A and B are shown apart, each in its own frame.
Chain A
Amino acid sequence: MRNLFAFIAGGLFGAGLFISGMTDTSKVQGWLDVFGNWDPTLAFVMGGAIIPMFFAWRLTKGRAPVVGGTFPTPPEPRIGRNLVLGSVLFGFGWGLAGLCPGPSIASLSYGGIMHWIFVAAMLVGMYVAPALRDRMDRTLDRSVAAE
């Protein structure tokens, strides 16, 4: 059942990304381009997606997931270095190509070779990220300790 539910969720996600136009990189870059010909679509996509999720989070209270187990723990309030640095790096790449992880997968079937190249590079980035993060954490923590 878990896998069927995951497939349905992924299908809704992929269909939504396709229909909303979020696999069109010019619409994403157009939304980020506040000094150019600004495209408001992404704000409607975000707003639309947050509505069902808001109710879903409320429904989790006092219940358990359909397949059993427990719901994710409440959000952590801690804002760390990695959260900020990672988001800046991600945002920079997002603006550069107009693709983020979800739409990059949804557009693989029709976007052409550049989308496959993007996803390949992204997977390499995801693969090296943990080692890179550990290394950076060690270096920075050592320099803090030395002060």
Chain B
Amino acid sequence: MEQDWIWGLVGGLLIGLGGAVYLLANGRIMGASGILGGLVDGSGRDTWKERIAFLAGVFLLPIFIFPAYNSVETHVSQNWLIVIAAGLLVGIGTRFANGCTSGHGVCGISRFSLRGMVATVFYIMAGGVAVIIFRHMLGWV
């Protein structure tokens, strides 16, 4: 547990490096919700190959690292109603806001984008409120 922050920092640097490659090589902002959303709603039809290639990397790399770990527990809720509600909120919300933790958070804050900073403040506050309600008041998560 004490080393968690070191792995957090190392992982964070890799995430930032991924964003740097996507930006400097392809000239694109690495936002997971935008890359996915463009495939789903058709707005990214012209760049679908690049989007699929990116998502394949995100999906596949953990499979290669996985054997180095004894077990990886994600502690996800086993209540499918909660999981579906959360998925819908994340899907709708990130497309309304045009970004998520990677696009607004990592890529936005690092270029001092006001929109990125405002979005980050709001989704963190809403996430904190959700945890207060669903963990401390209702005891669901």
Question: Which A residues lie at the B interface, using CB under 8 A?
Answer: 1-27, 29, 32-36, 39-57, 59-60, 64-67, 69-72, 75-79, 82-102, 104-112, 114-115, 117-130, 132-133
Nearest A-chain residue to B40, judged by Cβ:
A126
Known: A10-B53, A65-B25, A125-B87. A88 touches B12 (CB 8 A): no
B residues sitting closer than 8 Å to A (CB atoms) are 4-30, 32-33, 36-37, 40-41, 43, 49-51, 53-63, 65-66, 72-78, 80, 82-98, 100-102, 104-116, 118-120, 122-132, 134-136, 141
Which of B29, B63, B85, B135 sits near A33, CB closer than 8 Å? B135
CB contact between A90 and one of B75, B93, B102, B131 (< 8 Å): that residue: B93
Chain B, residue nearest A101 (CB): B32
Residue of B56, B58, B82, B118 contacting most chain A CB atoms (<10 Å): B58
- A92 CB to closest chain B CB (Å) equals 5
Partner of B118, one of A3, A83, A96, A123: A83
B88 contacts across to A, CB distance below 8 A: 93, 121-122, 124-125
Smallest Cβ-Cβ distance to B127: which chain A residue: A95
In the bound assembly, the distance between CA atoms of A122 and B16 in angstroms comes to 24
Q: Is A12 a contact of B18 with CB atoms below 8 Å? A: yes
Q: For residue A138, give the distance in angstroms from its CB to the closest CB of chain B.
A: 15
- Of chain B, the residue at the smallest CB distance from A3 is B53
Q: Is the CB of A129 within 8 A of B77?
A: no
Q: A47-B12, A102-B100 are in contact. Are A14 and B59 (CB under 8 A)?
A: yes
A50 touches B11 (CB 8 A): no
